[in-house]
């Protein structure tokens, strides 16, 4: 039986009332120096579900892969790469939505000076935002756990397709399945039983892993340091579409609170960081950010 990683939190006390008034966000953005911390809620309008929202994958009993399970044996890796072979295609078809484009426009105007994303889909970069810090890595890259070589996910997709010619019939059968936020798709065990996993081409034997931070794995310290530097220099921290459940993102909320940096949260539903927020806006991200761009005059 797969063990479910810790993915939820229980709110303590009553959250501050949510608002639909964007005036505080507009004022902070207009003043400039804003650092954005984005989560899965920013990509839902591109067709990629989040974990914890109303239609999130956890409500479908999806159990994300953990680093402990992935490294434990061939069976888990075979299941992951088979499911990810389908999920990657769906993720690769996704396009930036109006929320991503709004953040990119604010960055181009110099009002947003840094973007930290918890997402692994690459959509914020595709929208045109420069120098995005990918806190949890990217599904567009693959890393060898043996020699450390990093390669393109598209390269591995071609190798897996060649190694599993009969899998294309299965792919056709399940192409309408829903993609999960971690880039896989639901497949029955029978569909993945004969899937062949390939090794690293550089060292010949190394285990390949998506260049993402799995649950149970630590964010690389140099990446954390880069994010702390951005938050430390921010005039305001703007959280977009994140429940802040996991510590990898919550730590920057606490940093902002300790330095008394204004914290603004736009998210549908409560967050683990609401007690530190100067304002909490409950609106769809695409609509809210498009309004912010219009109100600052871009």
Q: What is the pLDDT of residue 227?
A: 98
DSSP per residue, 157-170: HHHHHHH-TTHHHH
Q: Encoding tokens for residue 118?
A: 């918890």
Cβ neighbours of residue 281 closer than 8 Å, sequence gap 6 or more:
18, 19, 20, 21, 22, 25, 264, 265, 266, 267, 288
Helix (H) or strand (E) run with residue 117 in it = strand 112-117
CA distance 37 to 19: 19
With 0-12 / 13-18 / 19 or more C-beta atoms within 10 angstroms meaning exposed / middle / buried, residue 68 is middle
What's the pTM?
Answer: 0.89
Q: What is the pLDDT of residue 184?
A: 76
Instruction: Enumerate domains of the chain plus CATH numbers.
Output: 17-48+96-136+219-298 (3.40.50.1220), 58-93+140-212 (no CATH)
Q: What is the pLDDT of residue 14?
A: 64
> Does 229 have pLDDT greater than 90?
yes
**Helix (H, G, I), strand (E, B), or coil: what is residue 240?**
strand
Q: What is the mean pLDDT of the chain?
A: 88
Question: Which residue, chain included where needed, has tokens 């400039």?
Answer: 32
pLDDT class of 13 with cuts at 50, 70, 90:
low
- How do strand 34-38 and strand 112-117 relate by DSSP bridges? parallel
**Helix (H, G, I), strand (E, B), or coil: what is residue 191?**
helix
Instruction: Please identify every residue annotated as catalytic.
Output: 136
Q: What is the pLDDT of residue 51?
A: 59
Q: 116-125, 175-184, 228-237 — which is least confidently predicted? A: 175-184
Farthest CA pair distance, the chain: 57
């Amino acid at each position: 039986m797969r063990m479910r990683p810790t993915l939820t939190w229980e709110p303590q006390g009553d959250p501050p009332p949510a608002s639909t008034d964007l005036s505080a966000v507009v004022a902070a953005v207009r003043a400039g120096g804003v650092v954005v911390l984005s989560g899965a809620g920013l990509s839902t309008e591109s067709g990629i579900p989040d974990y914890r929202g109303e239609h999130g994958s956890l409500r479908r009993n999806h159990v994300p892969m953990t680093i402990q399970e992935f490294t434990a044996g061939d069976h888990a890796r075979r299941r992951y790469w088979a499911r990810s072979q389908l999920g990657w295609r769906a993720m690769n078809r996704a396009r930036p939505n109006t929320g991503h484009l709004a953040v990119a426009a604010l960055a181009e105007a110099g009002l947003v000076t840094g973007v930290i994303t918890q997402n692994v889909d690459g959509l914020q970069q595709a929208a045109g935002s420069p120098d995005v810090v990918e806190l949890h890595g990217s599904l567009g890259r693959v890393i060898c756990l043996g020699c450390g070589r990093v390669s393109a996910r598209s390269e591995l997709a071609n190798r897996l397709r060649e190694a599993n010619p009969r899998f294309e019939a299965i792919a056709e059968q399940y192409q309408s399945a829903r993609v999960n936020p971690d880039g896989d798709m639901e497949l029955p065990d029978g569909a993945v039983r004969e899937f062949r996993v390939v090794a690293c081409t550089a060292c010949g034997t190394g285990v390949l892993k998506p260049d993402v931070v799995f649950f149970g794995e630590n964010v690389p310290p140099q990446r954390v340091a880069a994010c702390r530097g951005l938050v430390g220099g921010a005039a305001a921290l703007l959280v977009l579409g994140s429940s802040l459940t996991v510590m990898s993102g919550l730590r920057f909320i606490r940093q902002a609170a300790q330095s008394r940096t204004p914290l603004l949260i736009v998210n549908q539903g409560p967050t683990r960081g609401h007690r530190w927020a100067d304002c909490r806006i409950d609106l769809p991200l695409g609509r809210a950010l498009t309004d912010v761009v219009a109100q600052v005059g871009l």
